């Protein structure tokens, strides 16, 4: 784990995780100040004014099936991995979607931490083991999952439905390469939680959140490769447009898009 700031112990970190921006506790104020400063830089870098996305409320939940891990040699997966731009024109299989999420960005184990007996740690590690990443699935076509927008809940291994509007049209505007909206079966969006990171760490860890995302991206590539998926990490997207599509608050910034579908058989 990263070194904590002097005077900020585990319990304080938990308060940092649980207090909302703008609350009057000392830690809440500090988190809010750090978040505002990071957002100022973030907006400057992205030529972006403050966005006010409309939050989307949870609707139904789709339980993902328990699944055996794909049988693949790690070095073979590393050697076979490519960014794929060709996808089979068919639904993403439910079991493939479940395995992809479970083994790339699901929970790996539980440990006592942050004042909790069972704190989840991910298959993709994050700095301090913090729940700093959000995972959203934008489904164009998949078995058992209607097209729409879902948040992946790693602990329960469920998809939380946020919208059943087909995301293709909105994604065409969000991707700089609009073919990523119309060809892959799904797009996965990673987000970074500034409020979570700054509850624990100082401002320079704005960078660490992007490293956390990069770790998850490589997991998505490798597990996707092992499952026979064609995958591509995509950094070229409209930040504000994606945040609006996901309905995320200002404190949760999109970091990556990732396109996937069954690879064309050669
Ligand atoms: C962080 C990251 C961002 C990327 N963004 C894009 C992108 O916006 N558009 C795109 O076509 N490919 C994107 N790629 C794919 C790279 O172009 C590709 O990984 C690189 O050319 C090497 O090819 P390979 O992945 O097949 O080994 C991205 C890859 C990474 C790792």
Residues with CB under 6 A from ligand 1: 82-83, 177, 217, 232-236
CA 231 to centroid of ligand 1, rounded, Å: 10
CA 78 to centroid of ligand 1, rounded, Å: 15
Atom of ligand 1 nearest to the CA of 237: 8
- What pLDDT, on the 0 to 100 scale, is given for residue 25? 65
The domain segmentation of the chain, as residue ranges, is 10-262
Residue 23, pLDDT > 90, answer no
Which residue's C-alpha comes closest to atom 13 of ligand 1?
A: 234
What CATH number does the domain located at 10-262 have? 3.40.109.10
CA 258 to centroid of ligand 1, rounded, Å: 10
Which residue's C-alpha comes closest to atom 7 of ligand 1?
A: 234
At residue 10 the predicted structure's pLDDT band, cuts being 50, 70 and 90, is very low
CA 170 to centroid of ligand 1, rounded, Å: 22
Which residue's C-alpha comes closest to atom 21 of ligand 1?
A: 83
Question: How confident is the model over 245-255, as a mean pLDDT?
Answer: 95
Q: What are the DSSP calls for the chain, one per residue?
A: -PPPPTT--HHHHHHHHHSPTT-SSHHHHHHHHHHHHHHHHHHHHTT-----PPPPPP--EEEPPP-PPP---HHHHHHH------B-SSPBPHHHHHHHHHHHHSEEEEEEETTEEEEEEESS--GGG---EEEEEEESSBTTB-SEEEEEETTTTEEEEEE-S--HHHHHHHBSSTHHHHSSSEEEEEEEEHHHHHTTS-GGGHHHHHHHHHHHHHHHHHHHHHTTEEEEEE--B-HHHHHHHHT--TTEEEEEEEEEEEBPP-
Question: How confident is the model over 64-90, as a mean pLDDT?
Answer: 94
CA 2 to centroid of ligand 1, rounded, Å: 29
CA 250 to centroid of ligand 1, rounded, Å: 27
CA 214 to centroid of ligand 1, rounded, Å: 12
Share the mean pLDDT of the chain.
89
At residue 15 the predicted structure's pLDDT band, cuts being 50, 70 and 90, is very low
Residue of 187, 235, 242 to mutate, ligand 1, most atoms within 8 A of C-beta:
235
Chain segment 148-171, per-residue pLDDT in tens: 999 999 999 999 999 999 999 999
- What pLDDT, on the 0 to 100 scale, is given for residue 22? 39
Which residue's C-alpha comes closest to atom 31 of ligand 1?
A: 233
- What pLDDT, on the 0 to 100 scale, is given for residue 4? 34
Question: How confident is the model over 240-258, as a mean pLDDT?
Answer: 95
Specify the higher pLDDT residue, 49 or 216.
216
Chain segment 79-110, per-residue pLDDT in tens: 999 999 999 999 999 999 999 999 999 999 99
- What pLDDT, on the 0 to 100 scale, is given for residue 48? 73
Question: How confident is the model over 235-262, as a mean pLDDT?
Answer: 96
């Amino acid at each position: 784990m990263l070194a904590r700031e002097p005077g900020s112990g585990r319990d304080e970190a938990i308060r940092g995780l649980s207090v909302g921006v703008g609350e009057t506790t000392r830690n809440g104020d500090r988190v809010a100040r750090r978040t505002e400063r990071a957002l100022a830089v973030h907006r400057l870098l992205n030529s972006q004014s403050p966005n006010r996305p409309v939050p989307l409320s949870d609707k139904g939940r789709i339980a993902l099936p328990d699944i055996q891990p794909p049988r693949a040699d790690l070095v073979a997966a590393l050697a076979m991995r490519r960014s794929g731009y060709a996808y089979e024109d068919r639904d993403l299989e439910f079991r493939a979607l479940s395995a992809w999420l479970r083994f790339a960005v699901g929970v790996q184990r539980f440990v006592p931490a942050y004042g909790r007996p069972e704190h989840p740690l991910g298959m993709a590690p994050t700095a301090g083991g913090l729940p700093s990443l959000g995972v959203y699935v934008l489904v164009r076509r998949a078995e058992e999952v209607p097209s729409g927008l879902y948040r992946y809940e790693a602990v329960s291994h469920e998809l939380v439905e946020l919208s059943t509007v087909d995301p293709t049209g909105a994604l065409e505007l969000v991707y700089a390469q609009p073919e990523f909206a119309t060809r892959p079966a799904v797009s996965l969006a990673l987000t970074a939680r500034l409020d979570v990171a700054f509850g624990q760490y100082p401002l320079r860890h704005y960078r660490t959140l992007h490293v956390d995302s990069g770790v998850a991206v490589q997991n998505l590539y490798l597990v996707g490769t092992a499952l026979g998926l064609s995958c591509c990490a995509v950094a070229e997207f409209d930040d504000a447009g994606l945040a609006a599509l996901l309905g995320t608050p200002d404190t949760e910034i999109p970091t990556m898009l990732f396109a996937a579908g069954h690879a064309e058989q050669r």
